[in-house]
């Protein structure tokens, strides 16, 4: 287990990188790109995803443009520390679905000389900060905000608008349930929906 075998400070320089944005913005594609480059550099890379995310694959991280990389599904953030062995780089996809313990896990890994690359939605379907992502952005050395294209006007999209009627915070889906919208189009849509009620 990582906690039992790791020193308080390894002397190696670790850090946290967060790639955040709306759905369809290329977060997972960027995560895969960074992890593949680490593999090309012959670094030991371990990759994790939440077990609940089975949209494309149970054991792979898959981007919307069908790029894939092998990953280990875990039920909670503590499992990462139970599984990890001797990694130089750790990747975490869909971090918004993890418990708040993921913040301490990422800090611990970085403090022990590991480069941690995390990808996730920064806001939920209602436009509110999503899970541990805002805290991860605050403690990270590097933050990359990526954007989709608004499906209404073509501007940069910042919101993941849910088109289904579900009000559940976690609703797995793709283009069948979500569309990226810019701030202006999102506000117009929300105001129109509220006027109808």
Catalytic residue among 17, 29, 46, 94: 94
Say whether 141 is catalytic: no
Assess contact for 158 and 22: CB atoms under 8 A.
yes
Q: Alpha-carbon distance 86 to 169, whole Å?
A: 35
Structure tokens of 197?
């009620």
Neighbours of 71 (CB within 10 A): 22
Q: Which stretches within the chain are classed as H helix? A: 2-5, 27-40, 78-83, 101-111, 133-139, 183-196
List, by residue number, the catalytic residues.
94
């Amino acid at each position: 287990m990582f906690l039992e075998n790791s020193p308080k400070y390894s002397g190696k320089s670790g850090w946290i990188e967060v790639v955040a944005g709306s759905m369809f913005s290329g977060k997972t594609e960027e995560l895969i790109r960074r992890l593949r480059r680490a593999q090309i550099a012959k670094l030991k890379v371990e990759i994790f995803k939440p077990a609940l995310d089975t949209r494309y694959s149970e054991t792979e991280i898959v981007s919307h443009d069908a790029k894939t990389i092998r990953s280990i599904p875990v039920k909670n953030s503590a499992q990462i520390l139970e599984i990890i062995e001797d990694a130089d780089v750790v990747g975490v996809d869909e971090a918004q679905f993890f418990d708040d313990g993921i913040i301490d896990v990422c800090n611990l890994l970085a403090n022990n000389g590991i480069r941690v690359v995390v990808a996730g939605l920064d806001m939920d379907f209602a436009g509110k900060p999503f899970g541990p992502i805002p805290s991860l952005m605050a403690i990270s050395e590097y933050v990359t905000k990526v954007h989709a294209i608004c499906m209404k006007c073509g501007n940069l999209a910042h919101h993941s608008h849910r088109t289904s009627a579900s009000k559940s915070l976690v609703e797995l889906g793709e283009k069948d349930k979500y569309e990226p919208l810019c701030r202006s189009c999102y506000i117009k849509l929300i105001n129109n929906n509220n006027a109808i009620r």
